[in-house]
Amino acid sequence: MDMYLRAICALSLRDLPYHYAIWVRSRSGRAHLRWRVNTRHLADRLVQDMHAELAPSGMHVWAIRTRGVHPWTVQVLGLPVLLGASVIVPLVPRLIIVALVGAIVLGAGCGGRRWMRGGRDDR
């Protein structure tokens, strides 16, 4: 969990519209997408850990920077907006903003689990 917390804290503005795809090439030459993560630090860490496990079997691991916002990034950006809107804005706009941003944050948090593990989009 500590690795994920550090990765979220390491988000920079230029990395927000991107995520990193972790690929594994088997001995037969086929490439398989294993994970999608939101920061380069986390991608490098996963590649390093997976390389240590898979190197003896002749498999190759690498990360590719891909365009597209990761669901965790949406949560990290939406939560402060949600909290700020619930405190600052008057009642009627507050309810509208909280409902909209809450739906976005919950949607990003609930969907995409299979997608993050390299599968098709499950949203």
Q: What is the pLDDT of residue 10?
A: 61
Q: How confident is the model at residue 121 (pLDDT cuts 50, 70, 90)?
A: low
Q: What is the mean pLDDT of residues 75-89?
A: 75
Domain boundary among 48, 67, 86: 67
Boundaries of domain holding 111:
71-116
Domain assignment present for residue 122? The answer is no
Domain boundary among 67, 85, 108: 67
Q: Are 44 and 60 part of one and the same domain?
A: yes
- Return contacts of 54-62, CB within 8 angstroms, 24+ apart: 54/24, 57/27, 58/27, 59/24, 59/25, 59/26, 59/27, 60/24, 60/25, 61/22, 61/23, 61/24, 61/25, 62/22, 62/23, 62/25
Q: Are 40 and 79 part of one and the same domain?
A: no
Q: Are 63 and 92 part of one and the same domain?
A: no
Q: What is the mean pLDDT of residues 85-101?
A: 77
Count the domains in the chain: 2
Q: What is the pLDDT of residue 123?
A: 47
